Amino acid sequence: MARKGYSVTVNGLVLRWARETIGATEREVAKRVGTTEAVVKNWETGDVKLSLRQLKKLSAFFRRPLAALLLPKPPPEPALPQDFRRLPGKPPGTLSRQAHLVIRKVRRLQTIAAELLDQLGDKEKRFRQPARDPSGDPENIAKEIRVSLGISVDAQKAWSNPQMAFAEWRKAIESQNVLVFQMSFPLEDGRGFSLAHERLPVIVVNQRDAVTARIFTLIHEYAHLLIRVPGICGPELEDVAGDRSADRIEVFCNRLAAAILVPPEDLRDTARALKTSDLLHEARRIAYRVYKVSPQVLLRRLCELGFIPYQAYRQARDAEKTFEEQLPKRVKKPPAHMRCLRELGRPFVSLVLEASDKEIITTRDASDLLSLNLDQLRTLHDALRQPIPR
């Protein structure tokens, strides 16, 4: 006679909480467990008996420990970041399972980083930039921000490529006690997001994006932190030439990011030396080689400052988007320890390793937090003595 499997009583509301917090549908859960959508809906209405095998499948799908599914009631869950996306064909508020899991992971890392700072006795370390008013002039605020970040236009022009530019902008923002992570999730879910915190706010940029797009997202999300309105953001909104259909917060953050990346005084000097037709012809070269931004950002600034008409901007911008979409997507997989540094950033990695060295956490804890085995962890120690990975 075949042995009967163990069954466990589960609160259906807990199952619903676990499903909804990763943005999954009843159909997706049913497919994972091998049952029907109707059965899953019935599970979530009250107490239900499930086999241990079913629970383990659900635990793996929800990325929750088995014990979490056995809680007597759903625990409190932080709300998703404010949604500033305006994606074609996708209403605001919907996120993929992968994006939900990234947000959950980042929140956990943010909490752990703050706790480690306390345990290391560094209770004074915090984000100290004063709050900015989103009704203020982005051009004037941009000047202040560049000074506070310590990046001159000459230094920016001297960077060899956009990869170096991203690394330097990231380093400057991390010096303000902001954690900057690069995570991979579907681009249709957004280009990045930011999370507030009294000590260590976080910026996340989508690793699947082009490097120039990641640069803009990095500065855009920093603008969100400056006005104390973090959120999740999608493609750049159209707000040039008086369009008021876009969200005013996004309009401000877009304009502030563009003004920081392409200072008006310097761009005017460049633009006055060229005719309008030459500006459009040279936009790609100037964008990549001079300011290390996307051609769309440069074209936007030329339009905002009155050097090219709006219609010419729209046509050139659309042509650049088509050009970028046709470029081959090269994916280079770095060694594990370099991937860790690229994704989590030097400040977070250093914090974890310092806590491990001082036996505040175990080596295994450090390994788990950084997703590295022990050999890779040792290599990472050595890599921290090298220049920041591009």
Selection from 294, 287, 321, 316 nearest residue 303 by Cα: 316
Per-residue pLDDT of 275-317, as tens digits, reads: 767 888 888 999 999 999 999 999 999 999 999 889 889 898 8
DSSP 5-66: PPEEEEEHHHHHHHHHTTT--HHHHHHHHTS-HHHHHHHTTSEEEEEHHHHHHHHHHHT--H
What pLDDT is attached to residue 332?
A: 74
Per-residue pLDDT of 70-81, as tens digits, reads: 999 999 988 889
Given a contact cutoff of 8 angstroms between Cβ atoms, the answer to whether 102 and 187 are in contact is no
Given a contact cutoff of 8 angstroms between Cβ atoms, the answer to whether 196 and 225 are in contact is yes
pLDDT at 148 over 80: yes
Domain boundaries, the chain: 7-69, 97-325, 336-383
| pLDDT band at residue 274 using 50, 70 and 90 as cut-offs | confident
What percent of the chain clears pLDDT 90, i.e. is strictly above it?
68
What pLDDT is attached to residue 198?
A: 86
CATH of domain 7-69: 1.10.260.40
What pLDDT is attached to residue 245?
A: 46
pLDDT at 87 over 90: no
Report the range of poorest mean pLDDT among 56-65, 76-85, 224-233, 357-366.
76-85
CA distances to 144, 341, 383 from 225, in Å: 15, 23, 30
- Please tell me the distance from the alpha carbon of residue 261 to that of residue 269, in angstroms, as a whole number: 15
Average pLDDT, the chain: 89
Per-residue pLDDT of 349-365, as tens digits, reads: 999 999 999 999 999 99
Sign for the pseudo-dihedral over CA of 173, 178, 184, 190 = negative
Given a contact cutoff of 8 angstroms between Cβ atoms, the answer to whether 297 and 263 are in contact is no
| pLDDT band at residue 330 using 50, 70 and 90 as cut-offs | low
Q: Locate 125 and state its tokens.
A: 């370390």
Query: For the chain, what is the total number of helices (H) and then of strands (E)?
Result: 18, 6
Q: Who contacts 384 (Cβ-Cβ below 8 Å, separation ≥6)?
A: 341, 346, 349, 350, 353
- Please give the span between the terminal C-alpha atoms of the chain, in angstroms, as a whole number: 62
What pLDDT is attached to residue 43?
A: 92
pLDDT at 325 over 90: no
Given a contact cutoff of 8 angstroms between Cβ atoms, the answer to whether 190 and 99 are in contact is yes
Element (DSSP H or E) covering residue 366: helix 363-370
Per-residue pLDDT of 153-181, as tens digits, reads: 999 999 999 999 999 999 999 999 999 99
- pTM over 0.85? The answer is yes
Given a contact cutoff of 8 angstroms between Cβ atoms, the answer to whether 62 and 19 are in contact is yes
Selection from 41, 52, 35 nearest residue 12 by Cα: 41
What pLDDT is attached to residue 85?
A: 82
Q: What is the rounded average pLDDT of the residues 329-337?
A: 79
